[in-house]
Amino acid sequence: MNTHPVDIGGVTVPNNVFCAPLAGYTDFAFRSLCYRYGAGLCFTEMVSAKGLLYKNEATRMLLHRAAGEQNTAVQLFGCGPDILRAACESEELEDFAVVDINMGCPVPKIFKNGEGSALLGDIPLAAKLVAACKKSGKAVTVKCRTGITEGKKVTAEFAKACEGAGADLITVHGRTRERYYAGEPDYAEIAAAKRAVGVPVIANGGIFSEADARKMMEETGADGVMIARAALYDPHIFAEIEGREQLRDIRRDAEEQIADMLPFYGERFTLVQMRKMVSFYIRGMRGCAEYRKRLFAAGSTEELRALIEKIFSACSEKGADH
């Protein structure tokens, strides 16, 4: 795939292969891994604008960044223009140059509050949210879907309204809220958004390989791609898409994540999180079902580390490291 830098409202990121914001996964340690393999831009997990203003400690922890995380964008969700603007102007977001507004989350709790993908049904409000955030002086991006239902897709209209309100970049997940994550992405709708606006459009949905990324770019004319679930299975996908000759060392990746997380999150959270992450990383490996059982039975990070060592030593001996 042809990769190139992307300008986002005056903020230039090194390439057009982005890592999606993934609630429960894209913490600072995982983002560091994605950047190492070549991600051009990563996003925080979804952060509540209201929770940020109420000084919620769990919300603030989502904003923690590793040393050197200069370009990382913060993803906010909410449906109040004043609240979103205040969040953008808060001390906690002072060092974030790019703010992404979530307008695509399909989760019922978010949708019922009029947030996330519910905004696809209220285009004037969506535009007001973008305009309010732009008043903070930050670069503002939007992540949306093609519509709420299959019967009413609004991609081009929605993208145009967001651009008119000041959005500097728009990411389109090529599925409606109704479809969640099922089926092939709607290339035609992403292409329609690209034709409708002059700002960069990033295509998201169903990209699990370099071939998928290339097809997405060819079918939509998008300015780049955003990788979601595939990054959880294999963060090396960024190097693959960019055509970089960079070998993956899963054992080292897991060890470094644990080492990064422990001082900040502590033993319990690190253990629970890394049992999940390593179970993703060994997907497709010979004997992975049995390994997963043992991973989730680990009672400490030291036990987890020892098990990771055993797993990859055994795989190396069998000549099937991944």
| The predicted structure's pLDDT at residue 319 | 44
In a domain, 110, yes or no: yes
CATH number of the domain residue 298 falls in: 1.10.1200
Q: Specify if 139 maps to a domain.
A: yes
Rounding to the nearest 10 degrees, give the CA dihedral for residues 88, 90, 91, 97.
10
Kindly report, residue by residue over 226-245, the tens digit of the pLDDT: 999 999 999 999 999 999 88
- pLDDT (0 to 100) of residue 318: 44
Residue 60 and residue 157 in one domain: yes
Above pLDDT 70, what percent of the chain?
Answer: 97
Count of structural domains within the chain: 2
Structural domain that includes position 303 = 250-318
Is 115 found in the same domain as 17?
yes
Q: Is residue 24 part of a domain?
A: yes
**Do both 51 and 78 map to the same domain?**
yes
* Within-domain flag for 102: yes
Cβ-contact 29, 257 below 8 angstroms:
yes
Strand, coil or helix: what is 47? Answer: strand
Query: Does residue 159 sit in the same domain as residue 293?
Result: no
Give tens-digit pLDDT for 162-186.
999 999 999 999 999 999 899 999 9
What is the predicted pLDDT for the residue at 285?
A: 80
Are residue 189 and residue 292 in the same domain, yes or no? no
On whether both 52 and 130 belong to a single domain, the answer is yes
Q: Are 240 and 209 in contact (CB under 8 A)?
A: yes
Do 32 and 89 lie in a common domain?
yes
Distance in angstroms (rounded) separating the CA atoms of residues 164 and 90: 25
- Does 315 have pLDDT greater than 90? no
Do 278 and 234 reside in the same domain of the chain?
no
pLDDT (average), residues 31-50: 96
What is the CATH number for 92? 3.20.20.70
Band (pLDDT 50/70/90 cuts) for residue 321 is very low
Going by pLDDT thresholds of 50, 70 and 90, the confidence category of residue 322 is very low
| Domain endpoint, select from 212, 242, 272 | 242
pLDDT above 60 for 317: no
Please tell me whether residues 238 and 292 are part of one structural domain.
no
pLDDT at 314: 62
Q: Which two tokens stand for residue 22?
A: 């993934």
Q: Choosing from 34, 42, 105, 133, which is the catalytic residue?
A: 105
Tokens matching residue 36: 């190492």
Angle, CA of 160, 43 and 265, to the nearest 5°: 155
Q: Is residue 280 part of a domain?
A: yes
Query: One-letter amino acid identity for 51?
Result: G
* 47 and 143 share one domain: yes
pLDDT tens for residues 264-277?
999 999 999 999 99
Mean pLDDT of the chain: 94
Same domain, yes or no: 127 and 194: yes
* End-of-domain residue from the set 214, 242, 270: 242
Assess if residue 1 is contained within a domain: no
Residue 288's pLDDT is 83
> Of 242, 261, 293, which residue constitutes the final position of a domain?
242
Buried b (16+ CB within 10 A) or exposed e, 287-316: eeeebbeebeebeebeebbebbeebbeebe
**The pLDDT value given to residue 320:** 44
Q: Are residues 77 and 159 in the same domain?
A: yes
Concerning whether 105 is annotated as a catalytic residue, the answer is yes
